[in-house]
Amino acid sequence: MSSPTPARHRLHPAALAAVIGCAALVVGALVFLAWFLTSTSSDQDASPTADATASANTEATQRLLQWKALFDAYRGAHGAFPDLPDGGYCLGSGFPVGAGDTANCRDYQATNFYTEEASAPLMQALSSAGDLPTGTSEPVRGTVGPYALYEGGTITLLTAENGTCVAPAVDVWTDGGGLHICTIKLDR
């Protein structure tokens, strides 16, 4: 009697597809893991940008507080805030040249700007109460501050910040793309 010849074992097509599928899944997982680890280190490299944004926002709010203190000093010395018509005024100097080929604050490149030159009467009045704060905020999506808005019984000190407003400034408007208009109000 002869012994039976061993049968050749072949994988069933479904089993072969399962093995190939598992191998593809393992390779895909390894590729995803490599991408994830690479992107995580890139996010860590981006944190100085986040820190710079937070620093610029803090600086913009601090500048508003300096202007508030100067307005308060003026009121303490003169019994009232500087008397100016309703409208917008740049706080300080050194604003970028924008629309109209003038140094502007607020939306300096658009039609909704205030000129540094037209703000001179406010700057002159406030300088009688102390040194004017220096510098402007970092421009955010075409908006730069600080600036003041005289309306009725209030003076609103405003600036542009990227992301969220730093307290005590409060958010009064956002464009949904990162620009936040932050404010501190004064009652006249």
pLDDT tens sequence across 121-157: 999 999 999 999 999 999 999 999 999 999 999 999 9
106-121 burial: b if 16+ Cβ within 10 Å, else e: bbbeeeebbbbeebee
CB 55 within 8 A of CB 68: no
At residue 33, the 3 state secondary structure works out as: helix
Token reading at 58: 């803090």
d(CA 95, CA 37): 43
Q: Which pLDDT score, from 0 to 100, does residue 20 have?
A: 73
Per-residue model confidence as pLDDT tens digits over 104-119: 999 999 999 999 999 9
Per-residue model confidence as pLDDT tens digits over 153-185: 999 999 999 988 999 999 999 999 999 999 999
Q: What is the pTM of this model?
A: 0.73
Q: What are phi and psi of 44, to 5 degrees?
A: -65, -35
Hey, where are the domains in the chain? 56-187
